[in-house]
Amino acid sequence: MRKRIVAGNWKMNKTYEEALTLVSEIDNMVQNEVTGDVTVVIAPPFPYLQSVGKLTQGNDKLHLAAQNVSEHESGAFTGEVSARMLQSVGAEYVIIGHSERRMYHHEDAQTLYKKLKASLAQGLTPIFCCGEPLEERDADRHFEYVGQQLHDSLSYLSNEEFDRVLIAYEPIWAIGTGRTASSQQAQEMHAYIREQLSRLFDAEAAYNTSILYGGSCNPGNAKELFAQKDVDGGLIGGASLKSRDFTDIIKSF
């Protein structure tokens, strides 16, 4: 049975004190307002991981994620953070292949595969991101593009390994472009992703995989998005930086 999940990616935002205030507000709101069966994941910047994790320890709905991970286990890799390090400070999840990492840091399919393997080896749950840019959508190549992303990084995993992976679909063309992806477009791609997963692995694995939507989800559209058959939650960016908005999204199931 796949889980309903809302993950907040804070990206490179908030000072230390602001981060502690935000997570305290989210913790309080989730404990007092969220009654449904939903897993909430918070991904703060690296320096705040341990402190944010400690503040959420008493709330079994809240879980800690890292925004990135090194493909290397250890060694002379200045500025990198390993999966073992993340696990040691309480992280349970890790975002891999976010569109911003692919675009600005040129992370390719093989690098992402290595990050998946490194994370799984330390017991972390990867949130693997995929999604097409504007030119691919306009050229009607969006299905082919996303399918290739899935194949190139996931097909080398065993079924047992893949059972521990979550997928997040990011319609890059609908983020910061002034264009909006409809709930029908989200469902269409999520259904396609699930079909591709059944080809790469099997129907049971595909059915049980949580697929999150990461395209400018907010309190105004979350309920309609989450009502779609193959949308199992959201990977939330800007709205996760406001405790009220983030909690209202969580309550949209």
- pLDDT for the residue 215: 87
Contacts of 236 (CB under 8 A, 6+ apart): 6, 7, 8, 9, 214, 217, 246, 249
Q: Which two tokens stand for residue 219?
A: 């309190």
Tracing tokens 């004190």 back to the chain, one arrives at 17
Q: Map residue 236 onto helix, strand or coil.
A: strand
Tracing tokens 């595909």 back to the chain, one arrives at 206
Instruction: Give CA 235 to chain center in angstroms.
Output: 5
Average pLDDT of adjacent 10-residue blocks, the chain of 253 residues: 95 98 98 95 98 93 98 98 98 97 97 98 98 95 98 97 98 80 95 98 97 93 96 96 98 95
- Name 127's bridge partners: 95, 166
Considering 71, 100, 170, 190, which one is annotated as catalytic? Answer: 170
This prediction has a pTM of 0.97
- pLDDT for the residue 178: 65
Domains of the chain, earliest start first: 5-250 (3.20.20.70)
Considering 63, 98, 142, 190, which one is annotated as catalytic? Answer: 98
**Average pLDDT of the chain to the nearest whole number:** 96
Amino acid at 213: Y
- Name 245's bridge partners: none
Query: Is 98 noted as a catalytic residue in this protein?
Result: yes
Helices (H), 76-141: 83-88, 99-104, 109-121, 134-138
Query: Is 17 noted as a catalytic residue in this protein?
Result: no
pLDDT in tens, 74-93: 999 999 999 999 999 999 99
- pLDDT for the residue 190: 98
Contacts of 70 (CB under 8 A, 6+ apart): 77, 80, 81, 82, 83, 115, 118
- Name 7's bridge partners: 41, 235
